[in-house]
Amino acid sequence: MDTGAADNLRRRTRSSRARRGAATGARAVLRAVSVGNTEDTDHDMEGAVGLCKLRVTAPRYSLLREVGRGAYGVVYEAVARRSGARVAVKKLRCDAPEKVELALQEFWALASLEKRHENVVQLEECVLQRNRVAQRMSHGNKRSKQYLRLVETSLKGERVLGPPEEPCYLWFVMEFCEGGDLNQFILSRRPDPNTNNSFMLQLTSAVAFLHENNIVHRDLKPDNILISERSGSPILKVADFGLSKVCAGFGNASEGKVGEEKNTNINKFWLSSACGSDFYMAPEVWEGHYTAKADIFALGIIIWAMLERITFIDAESKRELLGTYVRHGADIVPVGEALLDNPKMVLNIPQKRRSCMSDGVRKLLHDMLAFNPQDRPDAIQLRARMDQVMCAA
Ligand SMILES: Nc1ncnc2c1ncn2[C@@H]1O[C@H](COP(=O)(O)OP(=O)(O)OP(=O)(O)O)[C@@H](O)[C@H]1O
Ligand SMILES: [Mg+2]
C-alpha cells in the first residue's frame, strides 16, 4: 500500500457529475415509498390518475436499508414481495437537467441490452414515479408525457418537469450485489492469484460484451464494480451506467451527429464530454476527444492496481481505493494526465520489485495503457488475448 502522498494528491476532477448533495432522511423515505404494482401502459399516466391509482395499490418491493449513496442516487437493499428475491433499488431524483441526464443515460444503457451477461449488473425494471403515481418505463415510451418531459429536460438543459414541489423519481430495480465493491473485496483479503486471474477474465468479458452492444461505460473504476457471491465464488458485476453512452445507429460518427450507417464501429465513435474519475481517465479523455478505447485504458489501470494492490486515499471520501498513479516529487498524478504531459513516458509495470506478474500480463497492461488509443487492443482483441495469457499461465 502506498498512501504517503495522499495529502499532496493533485486532483483535477473533470467529472460531469455535480458535488454530492445534502444527505436526505433515508429512513423516512423507506417507509413512505414502495414502488407500485404497475404494468406498461399506453395511457398518459398524468391524465389518467384514477386508472393509475388502481394500478399502484399493491407495493411490489419493501425497502430494507440504505446500502449506498452516490453523487445523485440512493441505493437500497429491498425484497420483491411476491418472490421474496433480494434486489437493489436505486432511487434518482429527477429535479434538475443534469440529474435527469444521468438517470436517462443509465436507463438507456441498461434497457438497450437484450441479453444478460453474468458480469454486468442486471436491470429488472425501471419505474418512473411522481406523486403517488408510478409507471414502468420501457425503452422510448413515447406515449408517456412524463417520460417525454424527462427527455426534453435533458436535451434542453432546462427544467420542463412541472412544479418543483412534485418531484419525479426514477427507481432502478437491479440484482443485489451483497459482496461490496472491488476495493473492499480485494483490500480485505490476502492476495490470491486465482481470484486475480478470474477477475481479469470477468472484467474483460464484461467490457467486450458492453462494447459489442455499443455501450461505452465511461466511468469504469473499482467503486463501480460490485461483487455477488450467491453462487459461492465471487462474480464481478459492472454497475453504475450514469455516465455511459449508447453509440448505436450512428455509424462512424460523433456524439450528437446522426449518420446513415446502422453498424457502429464503437472504436471510431467519437465522444466529447470529458467525464469519468480522474485516476482512471485516459489521456485523450482529459482532452475531451475519445472513443470506447478510453474504457480499455480505465480497465488497464484497474487491473494493474488490483494485481499489485496499489492504492491511494481519496481526498473527498477518505477511503482507500485501488488505482495506479505516477509520482511527481511529492505529488501523485493520475497516469492519464501524466501521459498527456509526457506521451513518451514509460510506465513502470510491474511497479513492485517482488512481483509475480507474468510477461504476458505485463505486455498486455502496457498495451492497454498506451498513450495512443490506436495502439491499445479493442475490447474483442483484449478478451482473446486475456484468454491466451491465462491459458499460458
Ligand atoms: N446492485 C447493487 N447491489 C448492491 N449495492 C449496490 C448496487 N448498486 C449500487 N450499490 C451501492 O450503491 C453505491 C452507489 O451506486 P452507484 O455507483 O450506482 O450510484 P451513483 O449515484 O452513480 O454513485 P457515484 O456517483 O458515487 O458513482 C455503490 O457504490 C454500491 O455501494
Ligand atoms: Mg458509482
| Residue 237 CB neighbour total at 10 angstroms | 24
Do residues 272 and 263 touch, judged by C-beta distance below 8 A?
A: no
Cα(1) to centroid(ligand 1), Å:
25
Q: Which ligand is nearest to the CA of 314?
A: 1
Q: Which conformational region is residue 240 in: left (phi greater than 0), alpha (psi within -120 to 50 degrees), or beta?
A: left
Residue 79 has what pLDDT? Answer: 96
Peptide bond preceding 283: is omega within 30 degrees of 0, i.e. cis? no
Residues 6+ apart with CB under 8 A from 281: 14, 294, 297, 298, 334, 336, 337
Residue 263 has what pLDDT? Answer: 56
Instruction: Point out the residues that are catalytic.
Output: 219
| Residue 381 CB neighbour total at 10 angstroms | 13
SS3 228: strand
Q: How far apart are CA 74 and CA 56, in angstroms?
A: 22
| Nearest alpha-carbon partner for 261 in 270, 252, 272 | 252
Which of 90, 174, 185 best tests ligand 1's pocket when mutated (most atoms within 8 Å of CB)? 90
Residue 330 has what pLDDT? Answer: 87
Q: Which amino acid is at 270?
A: W
Q: Which amino acid is at 97?
A: P
Q: Is 156 annotated as a binding residue?
A: no
Cβ(172) to ligand 1 under 6 A?
no
Q: Tens of pLDDT along 59-103?
A: 789 999 999 987 778 999 999 999 999 999 999 988 888 888 888
Residue 189 has what pLDDT? Answer: 96
The grid coordinates of residue 390 equal 491465462
Query: Domains in the chain, ordered, with CATH?
Result: 16-175 (3.30.200.20), 182-392 (1.10.510.10)
Per-block mean pLDDT, blocks of 10 residues, the chain (393 long): 34 32 25 35 29 48 92 91 95 86 90 94 91 77 72 74 74 96 97 96 98 97 96 94 84 49 77 91 96 98 98 93 94 96 97 90 98 98 96 79
List the alpha helices (DSSP H) in 18-115. Answer: 26-32, 49-55, 97-112
Cβ(226) to ligand 1 under 6 A?
yes
Q: How far apart are CA 292 and CA 297, in angstroms?
A: 9
Q: Which ligand is nearest to the CA of 20?
A: 1
Ligand 1 nearest-atom number relative to CA 242? 22
Residue 249 has what pLDDT? Answer: 63
Ligand 1 nearest-atom number relative to CA 219? 27
Cβ(321) to ligand 1 under 6 A?
no
Cβ(64) to ligand 1 under 6 A?
no
The structure's pTM equals 0.84
